Amino acid sequence: MALLKIARMGHPVLRQRAEPISDPTDPAIRRLVEDMIETMADAGGIGLAAPQVHVPLRLVIYGLPPDDDGTPAAVPFTVLINPVIEPLGPDHAVGVEGCLSIPGMIGQVPRWTDIRVLYQNLAGDTLERVINGYHARVVQHECDHLEGILYPMRIADMGTFGFIEEFRKGGQHLDAVAD
Ligand code: NI
């Protein structure tokens, strides 16, 4: 396994549409996922999309490990290959997001609250998952990376975009930052 270099906002790989993965069972894809897991853990992120490690393929990983007492995480660790998102209703919610490609910054982003995601796993199975809330936010953020979209492009009120350190100094409560 290896730590991969994370592309930062401004790098063209983050603005292009990623290519579909024709064979999810290709060992090279499994190796990429292993390296992305290591890279995400090292960077302290909750999600990572392949374009963020300079690989323009439709692959994202996300999730949290179970709590120390074994309680399953609110966002289970998941590999999504060739994901397709469909909203399940008109409802949106605004929540705080950050991104490993935009270090030190956060902003408040509107996202659908309820979605269905169709995807493939590393075995090549086609699966479907219905998710909501914070979990759905993380998936929308990561899948946006596959379209060349970064979260600041989704912010409705740019007054909410800034340096996390400054918001903390101002006493803003910043639990549950999605990245
Ligand atoms: Ni991101």
Is 128 a catalytic site residue?
no
pLDDT at 73 over 90: no
What are the helix (H) ranges across the chain?
Answer: 27-43, 133-145, 164-169
Closest CA to 54 of 15, 81, 85: 15
pLDDT at 174 over 80: no
Beta bridge partners of 112: 92
Ligand 1 geometric centre to CA of 151 (Å): 7
Question: How far is the C-alpha of 111 from the C-alpha of 144, rounded, in Å?
Answer: 11
Q: What tokens does 9 get? A: 């906002």
Residue 143 and residue 137: Cα distance in Å, rounded? Answer: 10
pLDDT level of residue 176 (50, 70, 90 thresholds): low
* C-beta atoms surrounding 2 within 10 Å: 8
Residue 14 has pLDDT above 80, yes or no: yes
pTM: 0.93
Please report, as a single letter, which amino acid is at residue 33. V
Distance from residue 149's CA to the centre of ligand 1 (Å): 9
pLDDT band at 64 (very low <50, low <70, confident <90, very high): confident
Please say whether the beta carbons of 100 and 88 come within 8 A: no
